[in-house]
């Protein structure tokens, strides 16, 4: 899901302006040509078109200096990518996902998957007793973008001197302490590119050689001086930040563009003075686009080529013969690295997190052939543990092959975190509910990775829970999890579709559970629970039984979660089976059993998604008290009926939902807008003999929903049994 943090990241980029033998010096018969690529957020993708046109004109580029997006494009070209390859990459990228640090759900550990549906946004606050709240240094650490940079510069991974790249290169950053321009000409190329686009407050700063570096566009958005320092004779500068008046007026209604334009206005005086030193100034006409239009790469690239071709007569002075240019391209284009074997796997940078826990999710092994896809999946799983701000890898030459080094940076605002959840529901008539969740999670309490999770949930229902989760080995394959909690809720009672009463249900209990994790897919746990509960009638039929006594029993739950999204899944499956066995032998007032199972499967073709859901529940022939029976009804089950309208000793439900993606939301708002059609069939029964397909209740619902920064939002209409109908809306997460 694209959340609010991703939207601000896009804004941040909009405010900012990517081993071979050293290439031979250009012949003395022609001048040394330097290319300067300025910053400008998504508008910087026009640099690809500039490179395309320069190649058409056979103008060799002897060195490149770039800032922010200009550094990314220039760095990719210097590493050996062709303009066509860079363009295809930018067009194919899912920018909504790329600029979001959140690990893809398939690589999250199971406990982090549980969190995925609970909390607003993806941002978290640090908390240290007694009352110290810590804010992350940036909304994004550029995790996925950094991995992309490493992937695309793999061919030059061993190069440390940027003069030895396929094309000599400089990335420009800013020293956050002194405010000075920092020209990066050596070191780790992906890290240099990451530093050049680290917008203060948006992306976290990068520490290199004792300096804290941020986006070069802060002080030097079109770095002509960096190219001149590389002994160039001719400077070709590309300025993508000079929006025309009509483009500015067109987008001033957009909050992001207003701030971006204000930032660019502050930069213009220094930019104007620098670009005067260029021999050729290329300013693409990007009137139709904004600096946040990353998903419009296919439309932004061509204006760069058009603007360059407009200077064809001037540039042709430096055109070389076909033979000479072919020789230049042979040096510029990257070559495939021969297969490498892994000599060792190392982990650096961890302090709180035990190295054994990290190694437990690493698949790459010594003496195997190096596979960069496997390495990247290792990085995703390490990042998915939830403890790290960034996780990067390096492939370092060593005796007998190469060392793969995973370098982690633990979250400086950890290990205690505050999270928030919100959910609102209404049938737009007489039924509504709201919940607000405040969560505090303290992680890495000991070397085995113990966690303390504390929930306070207020609203229509109230709940407080404290769980201590203690893994029994570094890989967390086995665990124990004691829990204490208290809850208060209202349970309606219906008869013949008419509400006849409601219970106030209060419970205080404690549970001791133990179990095992099934890799990152699921969990099996068993436990015993005991406590005290009451179920008192607060309205309606006085003849209904009440409860006041001890609750005790055995619990079990088996869960496998392979969905790629908690709410708008496109692929994967989900299964959960649970049981509660109330037993007087251990102190319970009642003797009964509750078992249930739920299954979901999703499949997608293009913009069309089909989801099948099944639910079954049984008392196993026992007599479940009226206040604890299985219930159906409400937005999630038989939406045309009221919440918990159907109740019984047995329940069954089948759902078939069709979802169509109508549009992608602007990154500032979320990810997508969907039309949803859902057909439900199910019922609840008091006796096994009553269960019959002819007794099913049916509900058809139609909704318009959106995947937004605060979770799923939807509004719709549902009708059940041709006579019960409801309009409804919902906002927020599940917890």
Q: Where are the domains of the chain?
A: 33-101+141-321, 341-410, 416-732
Query: To which residue do tokens 């303390």 refer?
Result: 452
Question: What residues contact 283, with CB distance under 8 A and at least 6 apart?
Answer: 238, 239, 240, 242, 307
- pLDDT higher than 60, residue 341: yes
Q: Mean pLDDT across the stretch 303-309? A: 95
Reported confidence tier of residue 245, pLDDT bands at 50, 70, 90 = very low
d(C-alpha 374, C-alpha 378), whole Å: 6
Instruction: Give the fold, CATH level 3, of 341-410.
Output: Ubiquitin-like (UB roll) (3.10.20)
For residue 680, with 0-12 CB atoms within 10 Å meaning exposed, 13-18 middle and 19 or more buried, which class applies? buried
Gyration radius (Cα) of the chain, Å: 30
DSSP string covering 77-92: HHTT--HHHHHHHHHH
d(C-alpha 170, C-alpha 63), whole Å: 8
Q: Sign of the C-alpha dihedral, residues 238, 242, 243, 248?
A: positive
Q: What is the pLDDT of residues 102-127, one digit of tens each?
A: 888 999 999 999 998 888 776 789 99
Q: Is 607 helix (H, G, I), strand (E, B) or coil?
A: coil
- pLDDT higher than 50, residue 2: no
Q: Is 99 helix (H, G, I), strand (E, B) or coil?
A: coil
Q: What is the pLDDT of residues 39-97, one digit of tens each?
A: 988 899 999 999 999 999 999 999 999 999 999 999 999 999 999 999 999 999 988 78
> Residue 379 belongs to what H/E stretch?
helix 372-383
Reported confidence tier of residue 199, pLDDT bands at 50, 70, 90 = confident
Q: What is the pLDDT of residues 10-38, one digit of tens each?
A: 445 554 543 334 444 554 568 999 999 99
Angle of CA points 555, 557, 563, to nearest 5°:
160
Architecture of domain 416-732: Beta Barrel (2.40)
- pLDDT higher than 80, residue 464: yes
| Stated pTM of the model | 0.86
pLDDT at res. 260: 55
d(C-alpha 518, C-alpha 558), whole Å: 10
* Closest-CA residue to 352 (of 403, 440, 404, 413): 413
SS3 per-residue string spanning 301-341? HHHHHHHHHCCHHHHHHHCCCHHHHHHHHHHHCCCCCCCCE
pLDDT at res. 24: 47
Other Cβ atoms less than 10 A from the Cβ of 178: the count is: 10
Query: To which residue do tokens 């599940």 refer?
Result: 734
- CA 240 distance to own-chain centroid: 29
CATH topology agreement for domains 341-410 and 416-732: no
Q: Which of 215, 279, 593, 707 is catalytic?
A: 215
Q: Mean pLDDT across the stretch 224-235? A: 94
* Closest-CA residue to 512 (of 559, 553, 549): 553
Distances 507 to 23, 464, 529, 623 between C-alpha atoms, Å? 75, 11, 12, 20
Residue 215 is among the residues annotated as catalytic for this protein: yes
Q: Assign domain 33-101+141-321 one CATH number from 2.30.30.60, 3.40.1090.10, 3.40.50.10380, 3.30.1490.20.
A: 3.40.1090.10
State phi, psi for 402 to the nearest 5 degrees: -145, 155
Q: What is the pLDDT of residues 562-599, one digit of tens each?
A: 999 999 999 999 999 999 999 999 999 999 999 999 99
Q: Assign residue 379 a region (left: φ > 0; alpha: ψ between -120 and 50; beta: otherwise).
A: alpha
Q: Mean pLDDT across the stretch 223-244? A: 89
- CA 109 distance to own-chain centroid: 14
* Closest-CA residue to 685 (of 661, 652, 711): 652
* Closest-CA residue to 343 (of 405, 394, 393, 399): 399
- The more confidently predicted of residues 454 and 179 is 454
For residue 73, with 0-12 CB atoms within 10 Å meaning exposed, 13-18 middle and 19 or more buried, which class applies? buried
Q: Are 533 and 505 in contact (CB under 8 A)?
A: yes
Exposure string over 633-662, b if 16+ CB within 10 A, otherwise e: bbbbbbbbbbbbbbbbbbbbbebebebebe
Q: Which of 16, 62, 68, 101 is catalytic?
A: 68
Q: Mean pLDDT across the stretch 389-414? A: 91
d(C-alpha 100, C-alpha 4), whole Å: 10
- pLDDT higher than 80, residue 734: no
Report DSSP state, residue 429: S
Q: What is the pLDDT of residues 426-458, one digit of tens each?
A: 887 778 889 999 999 999 999 999 999 999 999
pLDDT at res. 664: 85
> Residue 457 belongs to what H/E stretch?
strand 451-459
> Residue 531 belongs to what H/E stretch?
strand 522-540
Reported confidence tier of residue 270, pLDDT bands at 50, 70, 90 = low
- pLDDT higher than 80, residue 403: yes
pLDDT at res. 11: 47
d(C-alpha 611, C-alpha 604), whole Å: 9
State phi, psi for 44 to the nearest 5 degrees: -65, -15
Q: Are 508 and 539 in contact (CB under 8 A)?
A: no
């Amino acid at each position: 899901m694209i959340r609010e943090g991703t939207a601000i990241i896009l804004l941040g980029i909009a405010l900012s302006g990517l081993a071979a033998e050293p290439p031979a010096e250009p012949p003395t018969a022609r001048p040394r040509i330097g290319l300067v690529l300025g910053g400008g957020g998504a508008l910087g993708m026009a640099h690809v078109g500039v490179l395309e046109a320069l190649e058409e004109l056979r103008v060799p580029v002897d060195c490149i200096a770039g800032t922010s997006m200009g550094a990314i494009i220039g760095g990719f070209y210097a590493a050996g990518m062709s303009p066509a390859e860079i363009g295809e990459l930018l067009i194919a990228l899912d920018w909504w996902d790329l600029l979001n640090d959140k690990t893809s759900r398939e690589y999250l550990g199971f406990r982090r998957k549980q969190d995925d549906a609970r909390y607003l946004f993806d941002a978290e606050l640090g908390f240290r007793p007694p009352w110290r709240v810590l804010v992350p240094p940036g909304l994004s650490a550029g995790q996925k973008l950094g991995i992309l940079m490493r992937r695309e510069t793999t061919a030059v991974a061993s190069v440390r001197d940027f003069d030895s790249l396929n094309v000599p290169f400089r990335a420009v950053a800013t020293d956050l302490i002194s405010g000075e321009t920092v020209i990066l000409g050596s070191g780790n190329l992906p890290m240099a590119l990451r530093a050049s686009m680290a917008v203060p407050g948006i992306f976290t700063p990068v520490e290199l050689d004792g300096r804290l570096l941020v986006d070069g566009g802060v002080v030097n958005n079109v770095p002509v001086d960096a190219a001149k320092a590389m002994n160039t004779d001719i400077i070709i500068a590309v300025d993508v930040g000079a929006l025309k008046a009509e483009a500015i007026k067109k987008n001033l209604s957009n909050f992001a563009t207003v701030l971006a334009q204000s930032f660019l206005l502050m930069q213009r005086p220094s930019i104007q003075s620098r670009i005067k030193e260029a021999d050729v100034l290329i300013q693409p006409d990007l009137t139709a686009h904004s600096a946040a239009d990353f998903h419009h790469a296919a439309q932004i690239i061509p204006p760069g080529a058009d603007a360059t071709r407009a200077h064809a007569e001037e540039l042709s002075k430096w055109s070389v013969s076909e033979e000479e240019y072919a020789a230049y391209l042979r040096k510029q284009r990257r070559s495939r690295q021969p297969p490498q074997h892994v000599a060792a796997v190392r982990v650096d940078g961890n302090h709180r997190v035990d190295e054994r826990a990290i190694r437990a999710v690493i698949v790459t092994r010594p003496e195997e052939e190096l596979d960069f896809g496997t390495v990247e999946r290792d990085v995703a799983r390490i990042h998915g543990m939830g403890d790290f701000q960034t996780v990067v890898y390096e492939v370092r030459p060593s005796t007998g092959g190469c060392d793969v080094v995973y370098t982690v940076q633990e979250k400086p605002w950890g290990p205690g975190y505050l999270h928030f959840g919100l959910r609102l529901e209404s049938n737009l008539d007489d039924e509504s509910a709201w919940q607000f969740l405040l969560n505090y999670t303290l992680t890495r309490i000991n070397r085995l990775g113990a966690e303390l999770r504390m929930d306070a949930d207020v609203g229509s229902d109230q709940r407080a829970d404290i769980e201590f989760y203690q893994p029994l080995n570094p890989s967390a394959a086995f665990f124990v999890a004691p829990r204490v909690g208290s809850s208060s809720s209202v349970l309606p009672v219906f008869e013949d579709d008419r509400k006849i009463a409601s219970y106030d249900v209060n419970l205080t209990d404690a549970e001791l559970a133990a179990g095992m994790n099934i890799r990152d897919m699921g969990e099996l746990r068993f436990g015993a629970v005991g406590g005290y509960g009451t179920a008192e009638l607060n309205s309606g039929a006085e003849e209904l039984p009440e409860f006041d006594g001890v609750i005790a029993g055995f619990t079990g739950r088996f869960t496998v979660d392979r969905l790629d999204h908690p709410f708008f899944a496109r692929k994967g499956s989900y299964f959960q089976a649970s049981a509660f066995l109330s037993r007087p032998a251990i102190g319970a007032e009642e003797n009964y059993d509750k078992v249930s199972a739920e299954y979901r499967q999703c499949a997608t073709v293009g913009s069309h998604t089909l989801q099948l859901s099944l639910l079954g529940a049984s008392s196993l022939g026992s007599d479940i008290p009226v206040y604890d029976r299985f219930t159906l009804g409400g937005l999630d089950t038989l939406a045309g009926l009221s919440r918990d309208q159907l109740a019984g000793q047995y329940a069954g439900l089948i759902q078939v939902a069709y979802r169509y993606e109508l549009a992608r939301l602007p990154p500032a708002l979320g990810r997508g807008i969907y039309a949803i059609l859902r057909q439900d069939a199910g019922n609840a029964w008091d006796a096994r003999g009553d269960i019959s397909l002819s007794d099913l209740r049916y509900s058809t619902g139609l909704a318009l929903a959106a995947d937004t920064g605060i979770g799923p939002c939807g509004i719709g209409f549902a009708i059940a049994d041709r006579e019960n109908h409801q309009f409804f809306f919902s906002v927020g997460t599940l917890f």
